[in-house]
Amino acid sequence: MTTLLISDLHLDEERPDIARAFLRFLKERASQAEALYILGDFFEVWIGDDAMTPFQRSIAEALREVANQGTRIFMMHGNRDFLVGRAFCRLAGCTLLRDPSRIELNGAPVLLMHGDTLCTRDIAYMRFRRRLRNPLSTWLLRHLPLARRQQLARKWRDASRLQVRQKATEIVDVTPEEVPRIMAAHGVPTLIHGHTHRPAVHELQVDGRNARRIVLGDWNRLGWVLQVDDRGYHLDSFPIA
């Protein structure tokens, strides 16, 4: 049995190369897998299921085609697409996961996260996130006029890109102490997340035991996928073009 995990595709009409690579990935790899997990920031921006563009709908329909072939598809919110809702999931044939989610892979517990909540040193972002992800704030956002949501999305996207360039590297990466804390709290030896765009496998100790943190890569010049099968865990990249 093969499970695939990806994150941070930031799908957008401005990057048709990434969309093409993803559709090829669905056809050639995901359709052969038992399960596909998408750990956030699947889309560059999402302002509500009611504002789904033809491009976004085509991606949902491609996911549905793979789901209809038997691949179970799971999706987690990221910081760019946290307004993805039930309507999209119904169209795409996917199940929305909580962040974090504890699952089992190869007979062992694994914690899945998008990863932004691990960056606790970014105090301004964490404060902004708490306000924005409050259920009342989310409800209000979904009910704003479409033009206003589009304006806010552009503003937040531009601000996010600027902050990433300006902030120190250690601030936009995970807080080292937060990783073993949350892994111990959930009783897992493996944590898988995205968000930081720093693909790697990190070995660490949690409560005196060997553990690992696997960081998924963003899709830009390369696509990244973590494959889990009877041979173990394999973090691989491939050309987008």
Integer CA distances (angstroms), 98 to 86, 103, 112, in order: 13, 11, 9
Res 116: pLDDT: 96
31 annotated as belonging to a binding site for a ligand = no
Q: What is the pLDDT of residue 62?
A: 98
Residues 6+ apart with CB under 8 A from 23: 62
For strand 209-215 and strand 222-229, is the pairing parallel, antiparallel, or unpaired? unpaired
Q: How does pLDDT run across 193-208, given as a tens digit for each residue?
A: 999 999 999 999 999 9
Whether residue 27 is annotated as binding a ligand: the answer is no
User: Is 186 annotated as ligand-binding?
Assistant: no
Q: Is 10 annotated as a binding residue?
A: yes
155 is an annotated ligand-binding site residue: no
* Most distant CA atoms of the chain, gap in Å: 53
| DSSP code of residue 43 | B
Instruction: Say if residue 193 carries a ligand binding annotation.
Output: no
How far does CA 54 lie from the centroid of its chain?
A: 22
Instruction: Tell me: is residue 79 an annotated ligand-binding position.
Output: yes
The verdict on whether residue 114 carries a ligand-binding annotation is yes
SS3 assignment for 173-237: CCCCCHHHHHHHHHCCCEEEECCCCCCEEEEEEECCEEEEEEECCCCCCEEEEEEEECCEEEEEE
Q: Which residue from 204, 165, 167, 176 is spatially nearest to 188, judged by alpha carbons?
A: 204
Model confidence band, residue 161 (pLDDT cutoffs 50, 70, 90): low
167 is in an annotated binding site: yes
- Statement: residue 165 has pLDDT above 70: no
Q: Is the pLDDT of residue 93 over 80?
A: yes
Domain limits, the chain: 3-239
Residue 164: its pLDDT value, please? 53
DSSP state of 219: S
For the segment 222-238, the average pLDDT, to the nearest whole number, is 97
Q: Which two tokens stand for residue 26?
A: 């669905």
CATH code of domain 3-239: 3.60.21.10
Mean pLDDT, the chain, as a whole number?
92
